[in-house]
Amino acid sequence: MSEKMKQLKGILGEVSDLNHATSVLGWDQQTYMPPMGAEARGQQLATLGKISHEKFTDEKVGHLIANLKEEFDGAGPDSDDAALLRVVERDYEKAVKVPASFVAEQSQVTSAAFEAWVEAKGKSDFSIFQPHLEKIVDLTRKYISFFPPADHPYDTLLDDYEPGMKTADVKKIFGDLRPKQVELIRRIKEAKQVKDSFLHKKYDEKKLWDFSEEVAKKYGYDFSRGRQDKVAHPFETAFSANDVRITTRFEPQNPMAMLFSTLHETGHALYEQGISLSYERTPLAHGGSLALHESQSRMWENLVGRSKSFWKYFLPRLKKIFPTQLKDVDLKSFYNAVNKVEPTFIRVNADEATYNLHIMLRLEIEIALVEGKVNIKDLPELWNTKMKDYLGITPPNDAQGVLQDVHWSYGAIGYFSTYALGNLVSAQLWEKINGDIPDLSEQISKGNFEALLSWLRTKVHIYGKKYEPQDLVQRITGSKIDATPYVNYLTNKYTDIYGL
């Protein structure tokens, strides 16, 4: 390793340490911090964010990048250091356009906004969150202004989460996908409906928690390098490959949501725990993109966790824990129930057939916010109108409508489309996985997930951000992000369940 690369990695390591310290404070704020600590926490996050930004955007970093580009000119696509240089250069060119004072201000605003969102959701009162969201949207537009004009202003935001993806690309993918999903939902609605009342009985929270962790361990989540906590809106966060944490929540009226929330976040965590340790304290030590990350969470939650093979193994165990609630419930009935298609107000509880419609709704609203075509105060009404248009239902209150997701409170505008893109990638990978592991279904039915995790480790996880997301998908599956495998997966699954 050259002296210049050592110098660059030294700076990157310090920036990484500062960013992870920020993440620890963020994790604490959402898990254990007392509410009155919000103002001080905002100041702490602002200070760390400013120092990290200034350190990374120092002219010395720019000079090192320029010198190293000459050194690695002509390096092959498999070179780790060349990949690191590519990612650092991209991040640096974006970061130098953003003033450190803006980074500090954004940290303070979003810290206060999160606490306001928690209160607003608890009281189901959007007006509590409204002034904070107004500041966030103003900051978002200001952030966009730091960059050269793009084909669409939303492109600047989307690129932060899905490098290289354009708003027009997402609109086209969603435009092709929506009518196919709407038609599938129409056919399901006309079929004999699934009964799932036994899933909504009273289930002991602690027992479900323990069962959820049991499954996470079976999947391969290493609790010696992680932990699970309870929050208002579940998330996964990583401070290193050896400290990857997950969170979940309990809903008394929908108790199984705890299990699937844990499985979703476990999918994210398995990705982070599987990234090469040689990338630690560098920008490569993260998932390739949000779509790739969501492909992992959605795969372990749905393609595995809602499969008949999965429940062939785990249902007997669950029935022992809850003998009264699940008395006389057989495998087919339970499998059908956890895959029931029914429009729901809450995105994270949506079935696979309707889930993407929730994302398309959010994408439309975010684009309207960026374009300045909607007033913040009108969001609850706009949200409810679009819910009626997309899903045929109207939320009864703000908590089940516009306030349900945490993302806007921490400034993550441009994020939502990656959930649906992740669904598509998960199905593409799943086709390839089943081709490479022909007896995968049988292995899962025996509670064996080692071959699946090993495949993901060697094909996806280990590379972190080494490859461009679309390039990695094509490298593995032979094509870039494509909706066809996902449509086929949904059609086959629900044809079996609903007899279409």
- Please say if 265 is a catalytic residue: yes
User: Residue 233 contacts by C-beta under 8 Å, 6 or more apart in sequence?
Assistant: 30, 249, 405, 406
Contact between residue 428 and residue 414 where contact means Cβ atoms under 8 Å apart: no
Nearest to 174 by CA among 366, 338, 340: 366
Which residues pair with residue 238 across a beta bridge? 244
Catalytically annotated residue among 115, 265, 301, 366? 265
Contact between residue 256 and residue 249 where contact means Cβ atoms under 8 Å apart: no
Total Cβ atoms within 10 A of residue 98: 16
Q: At what angle do helices 153-161 and 352-371 cross, to 10 degrees?
A: 130
Question: Which residues form the catalytic set?
Answer: 265
